[in-house]
Amino acid sequence: MRKYSIIPVLIILYLSCNRVVSQQKLETFTYNGKALQYTVMLPLDFDSSKTYPVMIGPSEIESVSDQSFYWRGVKDSQGWILINYEIYNATNRIEEIKALLEHLKTKYHVEGNKFHTVCFSANSAGIFDLVMEIPEYFTAITGMAGNPNNSNTEKMKKLKGVKVQFIVGDKDTYWMNTAKKSHKILQSIEVESSIEIIKNGKHVMEPLIGKGFLDRAERLRD
């Protein structure tokens, strides 16, 4: 009988290693007759009758464990519904993204009936473009480090009504300078914008993954 005693231990270790996956689900929505996948992590105490802030982040959707970078590996979403989807390079897929957002509105009580999003590095200009295409769907966007294409001030005016937050490391010179420039332009055209420069921060701010990011996202809630 002794040789079987290891089985409960292995089960506990398996469940522990897969805790994030067990909280996260692979779901589908329909667009143009096709079922498209996204993943969702719900709050630990999720109650379908309650309203929650909903954050959508860029992610490859290849398995149930796929998550957007700045909440990768979290076990507690801190009261957020976290959605992972291919929202980068999506300006040629606007109707598809709108179908996803409308689907999420029917499935969950979305706080303010609008969404938060995050972008970083090379995917940031495209995600800012997405928000500028359909600003009526978004309440806030955070760049870590991420920026819109700031060469077209008229286009940036489409961000009016959307809260913009730049978070960048002081060792990330290029992105820090472009974030400062974008922040200044947004303020000049009366778009609500804030910037936080992280001391000794690098381009990839790994210490902010999870709680550090979610705490900052919390600042943008209405």
Residue 157, domain CATH: 3.40.50.1820
**Spatial CA neighbour of 82 closest among 105, 54, 107:** 54
pLDDT at 37: 95
What ranges in the chain are assigned the alpha helix state H? Answer: 6-17, 19-23, 94-107, 124-133, 153-156, 173-188, 211-218
Per-residue model confidence (pLDDT) at position 215 = 97
Mean pLDDT of the chain: 90
For 180, the domain range is: 2-218
Q: Which residue do the tokens 């096709």 mark?
A: 34
pLDDT tens digits along 115-128:
999 999 999 999 99
Closest among 181, 180, 133, 183 to 163, alpha carbons compared: 183
Count of the separate structural domains present in the chain: 1
CA pair distance 36, 152, nearest whole angstrom: 33
